[in-house]
Structure 1
Amino acid sequence: MSVADRLDLTLRLVQGSDRVSVAELAQRLGVSEMTVRRDLDALERKDLVRRVHGGAVATRTRAEDAGFSAREPWQAATKDRLGAGVAAMVEPGSRVLLDAGTTTVHVAEHLAARAPLTVAVLSLQAAVRLADRPGIDLIVVGGRSRAGERSLVGPLALRTLESLAFDCFVMSIGGVHAEHGWSEFSLDDAAVKQAGLAQAARTVAVADATKLGVRAFSQVAPLGAVDSLVTDAAAEDPETHPNGPHTLKALREAGVPVVLA
């Protein structure tokens, strides 16, 4: 796992808990406690976490700095491959619900080539990518824009989703765990994903390899709730992603095909 990837995951693990210990982070990331301490020091210098005895807590006053704009450049090439892989699985003429997230923005870029499509988006960034594209009938799901992420959440978003039906839900995810299934760092985002799962005939999950083996704050669904996962080939490498092979095995045993991009 690259330093940028590890910092990304460390930050989101801290954000998803009231307090997280160095030992817990080391176990979940598969690195030494010394590495975790260095990473926490780096995040503290950016005012993204606050070190406490034996661990860290999130710095809420500057949460926007840890959001979409901060994560967007990380693993851009990998996320673009994932985006192309997901888009190739969407049939022209489909009604698609596109989740929020840095990876699904790349999916949006590639979906234009699969037109004609009706695409409902759960993020303002994806809406910008798809606006005015030929053959794309764009629907922006209503709701509250979550600060830092610009994902559309809340009661209005949920009511809108409950009134629609989709052929395919492209779902991003904070973590996927062999025992605990699909999970998200935000309660609001988790609720929207649960609504998307309920309203779609098929769900394609997309996540880079750093999300494998991660248990985030709020459970979204059990492993078998999605129809396929698109991730990067590094997920099979136990040296860079210690939890990757075990998680992939559990997914396949749950009947979830895995596509490596």
Structure 2
Amino acid sequence: MSSEERHRIILNILENKGSVLVTELVSQFKVSEMTIRRDLVALERKRLLRRVHGGAVSDRGRSYEPPFLSRSTLGQAEKERIGKLAAELIHSGESIALDVGTTTLEVARSLVEKQNLTVITPCFPIASMLCDNHSIRLILTGGILRPTELSMIGHLAERVFEEFYVDKLILAAAGIDFETGLTEYNLEDTLVKRAMIRHAKQVILVADATKFNRVAFTAIAPVNVVNTVVTDRSIDPSTVAKLQELNIDVMLA
């Protein structure tokens, strides 16, 4: 297992439990104590956890959102596979809403060579990635810039999505829980996502397996607004079964 994959799992444990012991991680990953301590140091330098005697704790509440650039380095291989698979669901002539997120950015990367699309996004990195393809009609929403997320929020961003009806929405979420629903860190982002969902014919959720059974700060919508989930193969089979019970198609990258 790569260090990147261990980091992703460690952060998921902290998200759910709030703390973890070095000895627990040594046992789980079958690596040396020194390796785990290096992992914790690396994550602390990114301000993703706080080391304590014998382990680490999360000192972040549910409303804390790790910066876009920090998240983009976690689970990169899984996100790339998810992005490529989700892009296969998008066809020439369609209109697409692309949400903000590091996984939706990977979807955009796989759309660069696509032809005859209309893409609406509140995300600057996505717009920058697609702007050189002149066969894609690109609409970047207005609004208030969130510097750490490189995205647009506020009434103007919401209003843009109220003006259009798209074929497909590629949606991201901070947490996916069957009781709580889809959740996000930031209220303003959540309001934009709700507008996207209301005006999309089909909702495709892209999320790696660590996002499931997690609850963030603000509620976006029930899980059953989603038509298709694209995730990675480490997802728990029982979670896949629950999604399928809701008539949600599940694609494993």
> Normalised by the shorter chain, which TM-score bucket?
0.7 to 0.9
Alignment match of 1:255 (pick from 233, 238, 247)? 247
> Residues of 1 paired with 2:47 and 2:109: CA distance?
32
TM-aligned CA deviation for residue 228 of structure 1: 0.5
Q: In structure 2, what residue type is equivalent to 1:158? A: E
Identify if the C-alpha distance between structure 1 residues 124 and 253 changes in structure 2 by more than 3 Å, giving closer, same or farther: same
Identify if the C-alpha distance between structure 1 residues 92 and 8 changes in structure 2 by more than 3 Å, giving closer, same or farther: farther
* Percent of paired sites with the same residue: 36
1:165 maps to what in 2? 165
- Contact 1:7–1:43 (Cα < 8 Å) also in 2: no
2:7 maps to what in 1? 4
Identify if the C-alpha distance between structure 1 residues 50 and 188 changes in structure 2 by more than 3 Å, giving closer, same or farther: farther
Identify if the C-alpha distance between structure 1 residues 80 and 44 changes in structure 2 by more than 3 Å, giving closer, same or farther: closer
TM-score (structure 2 length as normaliser): 0.81
Is 113-122 or 196-205 further displaced after alignment? Answer: 113-122
Q: In structure 2, what residue type is equivalent to 1:169? A: L
TM-aligned CA deviation for residue 246 of structure 1: 2.9
> Residues of 1 paired with 2:13 and 2:143: CA distance?
29
TM-aligned CA deviation for residue 260 of structure 1: 0.6
TM-score (structure 1 length as normaliser): 0.79
Alignment match of 1:57 (pick from 56, 59, 62)? 59
Identify if the C-alpha distance between structure 1 residues 189 and 8 changes in structure 2 by more than 3 Å, giving closer, same or farther: farther
> Residues of 1 paired with 2:70 and 2:171: CA distance?
21
1:81 maps to what in 2? 81
1:100 maps to what in 2? 100
The 5-angstrom pairing of residues 11-26 of structure 1 reads: 13=15, 24-25=17-18
- Contact 2:48–2:58 (Cα < 8 Å) also in 1: no
The 5-angstrom pairing of residues 228-243 of structure 1 reads: 228-235=228-235
CA RMSD of aligned residues (A): 2.9
TM-aligned CA deviation for residue 76 of structure 1: 1.9
- Contact 1:92–1:116 (Cα < 8 Å) also in 2: yes
> Residues of 2 paired with 1:214 and 1:33: CA distance?
22
TM-aligned CA deviation for residue 10 of structure 1: 6.1
Alpha-carbon displacement from aligned partner over 1:16-70 (angstroms, at most 9, x marks no partner):
xxxxxxx8336xxxx668658x787765554455689x964349xxx89x31111
> Residues of 2 paired with 1:120 and 1:34: CA distance?
47
> Residues of 2 paired with 1:188 and 1:245: CA distance?
33
Structure 2 spans left out of the alignment, 5+ residues: 26-36
- SS, match of residue 59 in structure 2: strand
Structure 1 spans left out of the alignment, 5+ residues: 14-22, 236-243
The 5-angstrom pairing of residues 33-182 of structure 1 reads: 43-48=43-48, 56-58=58-60, 66-182=66-182
> Residues of 1 paired with 2:133 and 2:118: CA distance?
11
> Residues of 1 paired with 2:22 and 2:184: CA distance?
25
More helix by share: 1
